[in-house]
Amino acid sequence: MLNFKTGDLCKLKADAIIIPVCEDSEIHDNSTVISIINHTGTAKEFKGAKDDELTLFDLPAVKTPRIIFLGLGKIKKIDSESLRAFCGKSVKKCIGKKLGEILIVVPSATKLDNEMQIIIESMMEGAFLGNHLFDKYKKDKKNSPLKKVAFFVEPQILKKFSGLPSRVEIFCSGTILAREWVSIPSNDKIPEQLAKDMAASAGKESLKVKIFDEQKLKRLGFGAMLAVASGSSNNPRLLILEYAPKGAKKTIAFVGKGITFDSGGINLKPSGSLEDMKMDMSGAAAVAATLISAAKIKPEARIIGAIPIVENMLSGDATRPGDIVTSYDGKTIEINNTDAEGRLILADAISYVIKEYKPDILIDVATLTGACVVALGEKIAGLFSPDDELAEKIIQSAKKTGERCWRMPLPEDYREYLKSEFADISNMSSSKWGGAITATLFLSEFIKDTRWAHIDIAGPAYTKKGTDYCGPGGTGFGVRLLCDLIQKL
């Protein structure tokens, strides 16, 4: 879908050429591009202010019939995220106009005072991600994605970065795979089905795949996970994906929360909080898609993806508040709130991964708490880790991919809120406040001495209305971040 074009812009043929224009600075140095931009001089309403738009048709000597000038705003405000947004919006506009192939002009790196690699990568990411439509469930498909998006650059840049389009496609396809899993409604992704679908995609990349069914989980003693599953007629699964290159010296494990629907259980959620709970498997989607994308670039480390998949429902068989269960590692847990189910399935999956695979680093990704959304809003994930070096690397990757993470504290004295009178630990904090922190402290009880980070993606995993480069539904948050991180660890 993505590629480069170079040469004489006037002679290139597409359905539209998109030219980014800045309001306070010239950002191009190709003379043809500059002379085409000069045609906007007569249109007073177009200044290049952010989101300004002007389309000119059939310019003399230009082969492409439609030139769309789009404002980038002030040069100081341009960064990788605004370039991603710019290209996402450009693609969405052209999808709306029913176009098929477009050409986006890349600004000059010296003029933007940024590295060319970062500029092109961000622009390609925005275009590729903005081109995804989730319309599986629509009878009439009003729009179709663009077939081709080319980026106009100078010949030496094309040469230097010729491998970039396919790399961007690998990682962004992972994001889109995760988005689709998240957006699929819960009736079409009961645990058995989701495990199968993820296994099928993973199998294509020759990852090793294991699926544990309910009997196996019972035999192995996944008591906390099974307690969450007990209220649903759809049985749980544990999916394990493994990428194991020869001679690997390190093992990185990812664990993703896979609640295919979170009703809250007997602690039933109120309406208004239930509607989007198909998204409560976004951590699982991010982990599965990360392994699938990572396998394509063949990193050196062994990578494990552990994905507990459960539906949290209520019935006569459901776990009751106050019930005590025994987790995989033997600790007893008093389940004082059946809506705090994510930490239960994660605890067992984490214990299992640590025992069986002895990872050097373990990172779990989960839509764990509403409290994290209260703290950081819908666009920023909460990052928790006792390990400064690991946390710093995650924050660096997050900055690069635009999947923002903010480090949160793990105060030791908050642990007392998890005390239970009857069991080893309670899944529910006795304090009303700091829920994202106490949830993480609960997980930390199962980590032993493994290097570990927890990313709470309850906010950014899902968007009701869509963003500049994402339609409504799952965002695929975390996939590009984790893929980048793998290359840094």
**List of residues contacting ligand BES (CB under 6 A):** 262, 280, 337, 339-342, 367, 369-371, 373, 428, 435, 458
Partner interacting with residue 403 (select from ligand BES, Mg ion, Zn ion, none; CB below 5-8 Å by kind): none
Smallest gap from Cβ 422 to Zn ion, in A, equals 24
**Residues 342, 344, 346, 347, CA torsion sign:** positive
* Cβ closest to ligand BES, residue 337 vs residue 420: 337
* Cβ closest to Mg ion, residue 341 vs residue 403: 341
Q: What is the enclosing helix (H) or strand (E) of 22?
A: strand 16-22
Q: What is the footprint of Mg ion within residues 318-377 (CB under 5 A)?
A: 339, 341
Please give the size of the binding site for Mg ion, defined by CB under 5 A: 3
Smallest gap from Cβ 262 to Mg ion, in A, equals 4
* Cβ closest to ligand BES, residue 25 vs residue 273: 273
Cα 305 from Cα 212, distance rounded (Å): 14
Q: What is the footprint of Mg ion within residues 29-48 (CB under 5 A)?
A: none
Smallest gap from Cβ 110 to ligand BES, in A, equals 43
Question: Could you say which of 92, 189, 343, 404 is catalytic?
Answer: 343
Cα 248 from Cα 299, distance rounded (Å): 9
Partner interacting with residue 369 (select from Zn ion, ligand BES, Mg ion, none; CB below 5-8 Å by kind): ligand BES
Q: 357: closest CA among 284, 254, 286, 225?
A: 254
* Cβ closest to ligand BES, residue 248 vs residue 274: 274
Task: Examine the residue annotation and report whether 269 is marked as an active-site residue of this protein.
Answer: yes
Q: Are residues 124 and 151 in contact, defined by beta-carbon separation less than 8 angstroms?
A: yes
Smallest gap from Cβ 107 to Zn ion, in A, equals 43
Q: Are residues 458 and 372 in contact, defined by beta-carbon separation less than 8 angstroms?
A: yes
Task: Using CB positions, name the residue nearest to ligand BES.
Answer: 370
Site string for Mg ion, 255-294 (x = CB under 5 A): -------x--------------------------------
* Cβ closest to ligand BES, residue 93 vs residue 278: 278
Both tokens assigned to 72: 């980038």
* Cβ closest to Mg ion, residue 180 vs residue 341: 341
Smallest gap from Cβ 279 to ligand BES, in A, equals 6
* Cβ closest to ligand BES, residue 214 vs residue 341: 341
Smallest gap from Cβ 427 to Zn ion, in A, equals 12
Partner interacting with residue 337 (select from Mg ion, Zn ion, ligand BES, none; CB below 5-8 Å by kind): ligand BES
Q: Are residues 97 and 142 in contact, defined by beta-carbon separation less than 8 angstroms?
A: no
* Cβ closest to Zn ion, residue 84 vs residue 278: 278
Cα 292 from Cα 174, distance rounded (Å): 7
Residues facing residue 66 across a β-bridge: 57
Residues facing residue 254 across a β-bridge: 305, 363
Question: Could you say which of 111, 269, 400, 407 is catalytic?
Answer: 269
Q: Is residue 311 a contact residue for Mg ion (CB under 5 A)? A: no
Smallest gap from Cβ 363 to Zn ion, in A, equals 19
Cα 306 from Cα 179, distance rounded (Å): 19
Residues at the site binding Zn ion, with contacts judged by CB under 5 A: 259, 262, 280, 342
Q: Which residue type, as a one-letter code, is found at position 487?
A: Q
Task: Using CB positions, name the residue nearest to Mg ion.
Answer: 339
Smallest gap from Cβ 339 to Mg ion, in A, equals 4
Task: Examine the residue annotation and report whether 393 is marked as an active-site residue of this protein.
Answer: no
Would you tell me which residues interact with Mg ion (CB under 5 A)? Answer: 262, 339, 341
Residues serving a catalytic function are 269, 343
